[in-house]
């Protein structure tokens, strides 16, 4: 990242923190991945039970691996031996103390948008876990809530689809077709426009390019 981009991200991040705060989120800006990882870990009490949704950003930051090895009690769906067990673990995760996730897009005025295939990630954001930590890199910040929805569906989802063994138009063409496929990863589209109770959702903005 060059100096001009770094300065731009810092300025945009400062404005976004104010916008998120007005919507009752706790928000932080971290210039580097290393700083962001340390901030996220500092927000998780050692007594908490921790779980997470699929988040390439959290994985890239090394947070998931460090939580697993760092002495926290975890609810980890990757340990499941069957699809039925996996679903049950995902249900239990909705009652964890701290839930880790990412964002597909955030508008400059502080609305968070996520698309979800099964609904477990967006369900945890809206209700259940006592605390939710959202990691979002600055490449996912867009102008308006409408732009955020567009980014989630037309940029994030077609890229994300390439990671899975699914049959959807976006997996084939790389472009959203507003499909109704049973494999669709856009079953749920959630705008989180306010945080209730205040401070339950913590947003950690990362001044580097991560995820998609």
pLDDT digits (tens, 9 = 90+) for 70-92: 999 999 999 999 999 999 999 99
Looking at residue 212, its pLDDT comes to: 86
Scored b (16 or more CB within 10 A) or e, 134-170 reads bbbbbbbbbeebeebbebbbebbbbebbeeeeeebbb
Q: Is the pLDDT of residue 4 over 90?
A: yes
- Nearest 5°: the CA angle 116, 121, 124 is 140
Cα gap 56→25, rounded to integer Å: 22
pLDDT digit string, tens, across residues 121-143: 999 999 999 999 999 999 999 99
- For residue 197, cis peptide bond before it (omega within 30 degrees of 0): yes
What 11-18 contacts at long range (C-beta under 8 Å, 24+ apart), as own/partner pairs, is 12/108, 12/138, 12/141, 13/138, 13/205, 13/207, 15/108, 16/106, 16/108, 16/110, 16/141, 16/205, 17/205
Cα gap 48→74, rounded to integer Å: 9
Tell me the average pLDDT of the chain: 96
Q: What is each CA distance from 135 to 51, 61, 100, 123, 178, in whole angstroms?
A: 14, 9, 8, 17, 27
Q: Is the pLDDT of residue 1 over 80?
A: no
pLDDT digit string, tens, across residues 165-211: 999 999 999 999 999 999 999 999 999 999 999 999 999 999 999 98
Q: What is each CA distance from 10 to 66, 185, 206, in whole angstroms?
A: 27, 32, 10
């Amino acid at each position: 990242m060059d100096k001009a981009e770094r300065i731009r991200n810092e300025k945009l991040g400062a404005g976004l923190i104010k916008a998120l705060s007005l919507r009752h989120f706790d928000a932080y800006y971290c210039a580097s991945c290393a700083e962001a990882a340390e901030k996220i870990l500092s927000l998780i009490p050692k007594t908490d039970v921790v779980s997470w949704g699929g988040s390439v950003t959290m994985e890239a930051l090394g947070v998931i691996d460090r939580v697993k090895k760092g002495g926290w009690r975890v609810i980890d769906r990757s340990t499941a031996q069957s699809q039925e067990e996996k679903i049950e673990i995902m249900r239990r995760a909705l009652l964890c103390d701290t839930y880790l996730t990412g964002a597909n897009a955030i508008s400059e005025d502080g609305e968070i948008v996520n698309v979800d295939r099964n609904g477990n990630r967006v369900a945890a954001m809206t209700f259940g876990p006592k605390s939710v930590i959202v990691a979002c890199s600055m490449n996912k910040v867009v102008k308006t809530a409408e732009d955020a929805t567009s980014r989630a569906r037309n940029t994030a989802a077609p890229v994300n689809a390439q990671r899975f063994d699914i049959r959807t138009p976006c997996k084939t063409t790389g472009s959203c077709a507003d499909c109704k496929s049973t494999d669709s990863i856009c079953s749920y589209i959630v705008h989180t426009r306010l945080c209730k109770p205040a401070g339950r959702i913590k947003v950690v903005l990362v001044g580097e390019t991560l995820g998609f």
